[in-house]
Structure 1
Amino acid sequence: MNDNTFISIIGISISLLIIMAVTLIAFFHHTKKKIIEKEQEKASLKITHQQKILQTAIAIQERERKRIAQDLHDAISSKLNIISLCTNVLLIDKTINDKQKTALEQILNITTGTLESARKIAHDLLPPILNEFGLKAALQELFEDCSKHTKIAIEDDIEALTRLSKNNQLHVFRIVQELINNSVRHGKANELVVYMEQNETGFVLRYQDNGKGFDVDKINGNSGIGLQNIKSRIKILNGTLKIESTPNKGSQFMIRCNYDK
């Protein structure tokens, strides 16, 4: 074998090795790409499945709220009204003595207070003004009611979300309702600011309180039921949530949602 033949064999061998190496690299790259695509598809299906479960859970929750509100109105409030009416009839009876009158007045006071509580609970569960007059009116009533019962000062600047469906308006109402509950119960706030503005693609909701605040990293890792509920509804609204808070310096929640195309 002369030198030229040997060199040719070496050259051919090296070429074959390069081709094999390139082929193997291409094969592994293609295989890896297919695996990644399958994993992404699986993750997408998982997210879609979780989203459907989430939407179903929220829908069931709202149906249960509606049922309880209806039961409070039909079963409890109606019976309390009958008790109140009968008590008033007995109170105008001239034959009752002072002791009986005092007992009847106590019954009437308790019944009236219980009836008011039942109405408030039913209203919180399913605000009728939301369906009749829309989100802006329902939120303004919520703010007035909150200020009346808790003495919290609420500054608001909210626009009517005219492009939002009634169902999604209910989600926004529940989000604000839950944020207020958290500020009152956990944050011990006495001042709130609620800003809501609609734009071409969606809307922005900014909620701020002067409460005791919290560690954002800690709360993200171990969210309570209230915050989980808020996040769930924001996902349904195709939105994002940004939380800023410092212990003893209040909290701010920035929610941005896009309308469905």
Structure 2
Amino acid sequence: MLENSDLLSAFKHLTSQLESSTGIKIMCEAIGIPYPLASEVENNLLRIGQEGLTNALKYAQATEIRVELIYQSTQCILRIKDDGQGFAIDRDSSHNGFGLLGMAERAELIGARIQIHSTPDKEQKLQCP
């Protein structure tokens, strides 16, 4: 998806496809002025986002998902929020499933970190600054 477009366009295309195939409202927006990132960073952020969206669609029972690319002067943050059921987070939560482990490994490859905010029966949020 990134071969012929930028990261924001790739996310908009992905979320549009997922929304039409699932019927779940998925919004995608940039906050700040988008700028190009290294191709390795963009590729890994897209893959992390795909896994985060897949998890929200498969497990959260969300009715609405929001993807935000937050462009700041020193970093770009990928944030995925949904209104689905949360899950208990323990200190080893990145090792509880292959999806979360894969996201953590991809983040490490590009010098980023994954932050997961979730409470059972509450909105959850994944952030990768």
Tell me, in whole angstroms, the C-alpha distance in 1 between the residues paired with 2:54 and 2:12.
Answer: 16
Q: Give the 3-state SS of the residue equivalent to 1:132 in structure 2.
A: coil
Whether 1:233 aligns to 2:106 is yes
Q: How many Å apart are 1:223 and its aligned residue?
A: 1.9
Q: How many Å apart are 1:197 and its aligned residue?
A: 1.6
Tell me, in whole angstroms, the C-alpha distance in 1 between the residues paired with 2:4 and 2:70.
Answer: 21
Q: How many Å apart are 1:160 and its aligned residue?
A: 3.3
TM-score, scaled to structure 2: 0.89
Q: How many Å apart are 1:144 and its aligned residue?
A: 0.5
Q: What does residue 20 of structure 2 align with?
A: 148
2:49 touches 2:78 (CA, 8 Å); kept in 1?
A: no
Q: Deviating runs (4+, > 6 A) in structure 1?
A: none
**Aligned residue pairs: how many?**
127
Matched AA of 2:43: L
1:135 touches 1:161 (CA, 8 Å); kept in 2?
A: no
Q: How many Å apart are 1:133 and its aligned residue?
A: 1.4
Identity of aligned residues (%): 26
Matched AA of 2:99: G
Q: How many Å apart are 1:154 and its aligned residue?
A: 1.4
Q: What does residue 116 of structure 2 align with?
A: 243
Which structure's relative contact order is higher, taking Cα pairs within 8 Å and 6+ residues apart? 2
Tell me, in whole angstroms, the C-alpha distance in 1 between the residues paired with 2:48 and 2:112.
Answer: 12
Q: Greater share of helix residues, 1 or 2?
A: 1
Q: Say which of 80, 92, 102 aligns to 1:207.
A: 80
Which structure 2 residue ranges, 5 or more long, are not aligned? none
Q: 1:222 to 1:202 in 2, by over 3 A?
A: closer
Q: Greater share of strand residues, 1 or 2?
A: 2
Q: Give the 3-state SS of the residue equivalent to 2:69 in structure 1.
A: strand
Matched AA of 1:141: H
Q: What does residue 254 of structure 1 align with?
A: 127
Q: How many Å apart are 1:229 and its aligned residue?
A: 0.6
Q: 1:199 to 1:238 in 2, by over 3 A?
A: same
Q: 1:216 to 1:134 in 2, by over 3 A?
A: same
Q: What does residue 55 of structure 2 align with?
A: 182
TM-score, scaled to structure 1: 0.46
**Considering only aligned residues, what root-mean-square deviation do their CA atoms show, in Å?**
1.7
Q: Give the 3-state SS of the residue equivalent to 2:34 in structure 1.
A: coil
Matched AA of 2:12: Q
Q: How many Å apart are 1:155 and its aligned residue?
A: 2.2
Tell me, in whole angstroms, the C-alpha distance in 1 between the residues paired with 2:35 and 2:44.
Answer: 12
C-alpha deviations, 1:152-195, integer Å up to 9, x for none?
Answer: 11122225341x12222111110110011001111121211111
Tell me, in whole angstroms, the C-alpha distance in 1 between the residues paired with 2:13 and 2:96.
Answer: 28
C-alpha deviations, 1:53-112, integer Å up to 9, x for none?
Answer: xxxxxxxxxxxxxxxxxxxxxxxxxxxxxxxxxxxxxxxxxxxxxxxxxxxxxxxxxxxx
Q: 1:248 to 1:165 in 2, by over 3 A?
A: same
Whether 1:131 aligns to 2:35 is no
Which structure 1 residue ranges, 5 or more long, are not aligned? 1-126, 257-261
Matched AA of 1:160: P
